[in-house]
């Protein structure tokens, strides 16, 4: 029986475009910034739900997290267009983009209810936690893809070193 090889994330041309575009660096900077904002906000949200203290800070932190999310989603779409020729739903990142749409919808819903002010603070924070849960799933998806991209390099390097030994 023949084992199927995992599908490569990048063709050589896509890898070259990925490595050449400034948007790769932008994503590399924004991703950890967004994760740090997420961790701080998550702490504030959980602390507010537990103690009832600093609720305004918690609510505002979700707004900041959402704005950073919008920034990474817009620049990520540009990156995807440069590398794959599509702003969203390129084959290699289809499911990550699907979950990203749910993440965006929940964060946007949070902004709406926060702006309207008709939900209680606790209900707003629970909605934020739902958005953060989907964000955590989405972040795990992207971390998995980053690992796959790094592993994809290994066979190429191994093949190159093997070619040098043979010649």
86 near 79, Cβ under 8 Å?
no
Query: Token pair of 145, please?
Result: 């893809």
Per DSSP, helices labelled H in the chain are 12-20, 22-51, 55-84, 94-116, 121-166
State the pLDDT confidence band at 6, using cuts at 50, 70 and 90.
low
* Of 21, 22, 14, 2, residue with least CA distance to 91: 14
28-75 pLDDT, tens digit per residue, is 999 999 999 999 999 999 999 999 999 999 999 999 999 999 999 999
Rounded to whole angstroms, what are the CA distances from 118 to 47, 65, 114, 123, 138? Answer: 22, 21, 8, 10, 29
- Would you say the pTM of this structure is higher than 0.85? no
User: Phi-psi category of 117—alpha, beta or left, where left has phi over 0 and alpha has psi -120 to 50?
Assistant: left
pLDDT at 140 over 50: yes
123 near 61, Cβ under 8 Å?
no
| pLDDT score, position 97 | 92
| pLDDT score, position 71 | 96
């Amino acid at each position: 029986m023949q084992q199927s090889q995992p599908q490569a994330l990048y063709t050589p041309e896509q890898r070259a475009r990925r490595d050449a575009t400034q948007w790769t660096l932008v994503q590399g900077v924004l991703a950890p910034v967004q994760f740090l904002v997420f961790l701080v906000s998550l702490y504030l949200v959980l602390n507010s739900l537990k103690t009832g203290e600093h609720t305004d800070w918690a609510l505002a932190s979700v707004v900041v997290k959402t704005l950073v999310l919008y920034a990474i989603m817009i620049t990520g779409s540009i990156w995807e267009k440069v590398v794959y020729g599509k702003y969203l739903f390129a084959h290699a990142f289809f499911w990550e983009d699907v979950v990203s749409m749910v993440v965006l919808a929940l964060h946007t819903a949070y902004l709406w209810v926060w702006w309207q002010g008709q939900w209680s603070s606790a209900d707003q924070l629970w909605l934020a936690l739902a958005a953060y849960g989907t964000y955590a799933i989405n972040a795990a998806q992207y971390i998995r893809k980053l690992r796959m991209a790094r592993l994809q390099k290994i066979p190429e390097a191994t093949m190159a070193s093997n070619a040098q030994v043979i010649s």
